[in-house]
């Protein structure tokens, strides 16, 4: 068995592929780097590699759009497992480097290290991946990437843990062809490691208009199924039409979700199951004040805080308070 992932060696996806392989019983599968996210999907679809691993969501930067769009569009590739990694960036320079003028990483990596970049005064330069930035780092550059890139590419560590947020995590999906997904999932049905199930769905309303989103969310609430994520992606070349990509805490064979799927079909929606997998690496269950959007208020806010945060939106322009 072989597992494709977004290369080169040293990406966070490489780490996730190795972590997933290490948890699997039996001989460890080979992990093979590919150049593009689309290449991973294509290699799984045509059977070149039995499985693939791709990043899907980061707790700082949100969904990885190329991966999300690829799984929505894939005809024969679905997610059958997930791996969650804590993400930490180190800053590297090449041996014999000169004075640095640029900092390079994947765009998501640059976005997660804004404070370090701002304090350094270096010009950000996007790279295809964090590992590629480390592999190809120039004498005038600082590269940001996983700690394993230091030994892997013979680099000198300039600073450790330069990311803005401690505890940031990324979810990675394990991909397989639909023809073998059922057997892979069957192996987990009675697995004690699985604390629950998560399903990703693409719901496309055929009939649109006021209340369409409310009808979809109400179907889940009415059946007692937790809807943990909802985002929209545009239908290709169709202005104003969208696919709702939903993540729910249930499996399609469980009565609650099965009832929801039937109701959505009867309501005229188009459905596609993007993935079903056991919940293995949970994200943080609690949300502290430091995680909330700045400038917002909660029910514990004082009258002065409430007025400062909300009154500007309640007062018409030019009107006296």
Query: Are both 53 and 179 inside the same structural domain?
Result: yes
Could you tell me if 17 and 3 are in contact, meaning their C-beta atoms sit under 8 angstroms apart?
Answer: yes
Give the separation between CA 33 and CA 150, rounded to whole angstroms: 18
Query: Are both 82 and 176 inside the same structural domain?
Result: yes
> Within a domain: residue 309?
no
> Within a domain: residue 247?
yes
Query: Are both 76 and 183 inside the same structural domain?
Result: yes
Query: Are both 81 and 171 inside the same structural domain?
Result: yes
Give the CATH number of the domain where residue 270 resides.
Answer: 3.30.70.260
Query: Are both 172 and 72 inside the same structural domain?
Result: yes
Give the CATH number of the domain where residue 145 resides.
Answer: 3.40.190.10
Closest residue by Cα to residue 137 from 83, 184, 189, 96: 96
Query: Are both 253 and 114 inside the same structural domain?
Result: no
Q: Give the CA angle between residues 120, 122, 124 to the nearest 5°.
A: 125
Number of structural domains the chain divides into? 3
Query: Are both 150 and 174 inside the same structural domain?
Result: no
Give the end of a domain, one of 108, 139, 159. Answer: 159
Q: The domain containing residue 197 runs over which residues? A: 193-283
> Within a domain: residue 307?
no
Query: Are both 197 and 279 inside the same structural domain?
Result: yes
Could you tell me if 227 and 220 are in contact, meaning their C-beta atoms sit under 8 angstroms apart?
Answer: yes
| 36: Cα separation from own chain's centroid | 16
> Within a domain: residue 108?
yes
SS3 at position 220: helix
Could you tell me if 285 and 89 are in contact, meaning their C-beta atoms sit under 8 angstroms apart?
Answer: no
pLDDT tens profile 148-164 = 999 999 999 999 999 99
Query: Are both 59 and 171 inside the same structural domain?
Result: yes
- Kindly give the confidence (pLDDT) of every residue in the chain, 321 residues in length, as a single tens digit, with 9 standing for 90 and above: 899 998 889 989 999 999 988 887 778 889 999 988 999 999 999 999 999 999 999 887 788 888 999 999 998 999 999 999 988 999 999 999 999 999 999 998 999 999 999 999 999 999 988 999 999 999 999 999 999 999 999 999 999 999 998 888 899 999 999 988 888 887 666 655 556 899 999 998 877 767 778 888 888 888 899 998 999 888 765 566 778 999 999 999 899 999 999 988 888 888 999 999 988 655 545 545 555 555 566 666 677 766 666 555 555 555 544
Could you tell me if 135 and 8 are in contact, meaning their C-beta atoms sit under 8 angstroms apart?
Answer: yes
Q: Where are the alpha helices (DSSP H) in 91-152?
A: 107-111, 114-120, 130-135, 148-152
> Within a domain: residue 243?
yes
Query: Are both 197 and 274 inside the same structural domain?
Result: yes
> Within a domain: residue 315?
no
> Within a domain: residue 290?
no
Query: Are both 226 and 263 inside the same structural domain?
Result: yes
Omega of the bond leading into 8 within 30 degrees of 0 (cis): yes
Give the separation between CA 125 and CA 141, rounded to whole angstroms: 9
> Within a domain: residue 6?
yes
Query: Are both 203 and 252 inside the same structural domain?
Result: yes
3 state SS for 267-319 = CCEEEEEEEEEECCCCCCCCCCHHHCCCCCCCCCCCHHHHHHHHHHHHCCCCC
């Amino acid at each position: 068995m072989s597992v494709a992932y977004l290369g080169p060696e040293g990406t966070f996806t490489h780490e996730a592929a190795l972590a997933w392989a290490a948890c699997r019983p039996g001989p460890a599968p080979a992990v093979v780097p590919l150049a593009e996210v689309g290449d991973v999907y294509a290699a799984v679809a045509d059977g070149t590699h039995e499985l693939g691993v791709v990043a899907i969501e980061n707790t700082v930067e949100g969904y990885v759009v190329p991966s999300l769009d690829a799984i929505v569009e894939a005809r024969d590739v679905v997610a059958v497992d997930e791996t969650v990694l804590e993400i930490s960036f180190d800053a590297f320079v090449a041996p014999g480097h000169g004075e640095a003028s640029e900092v390079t990483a994947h765009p998501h990596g640059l976005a997660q290290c804004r404070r370090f970049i701002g304090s350094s005064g270096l010009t950000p330069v996007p790279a295809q991946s964090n590992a590629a930035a480390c592999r190809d780092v120039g004498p005038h550059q600082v590269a940001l990437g996983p700690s394993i890139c230091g030994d892997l590419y013979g680099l000198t560590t300039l600073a450790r843990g330069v990311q803005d947020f401690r505890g940031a995590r990324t979810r990675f999906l394990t991909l397989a062809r639909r023809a073998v997904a059922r057997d892979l999932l069957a192996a987990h049905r009675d697995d004690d490691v699985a604390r629950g199930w998560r399903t990703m769905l693409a719901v496309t309303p055929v009939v649109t208009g006021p209340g369409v989103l409310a009808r979809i969310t109400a179907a889940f609430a009415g059946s007692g199924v937790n809807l943990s994520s909802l985002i929209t992606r545009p239908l290709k070349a169709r202005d104003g039409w969208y696919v709702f990509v939903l993540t729910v805490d249930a499996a399609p064979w469980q009565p609650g979700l099965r009832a929801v799927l039937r109701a959505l079909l009867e309501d005229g929606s188009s459905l596609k199951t993007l993935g079903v997998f056991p919940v293995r690496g949970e994200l943080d269950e609690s949300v502290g004040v430091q995680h909330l959007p700045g400038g917002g208020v909660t029910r514990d806010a004082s009258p002065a805080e409430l007025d400062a945060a909300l009154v500007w939106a309640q007062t018409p322009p030019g009107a006296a308070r």
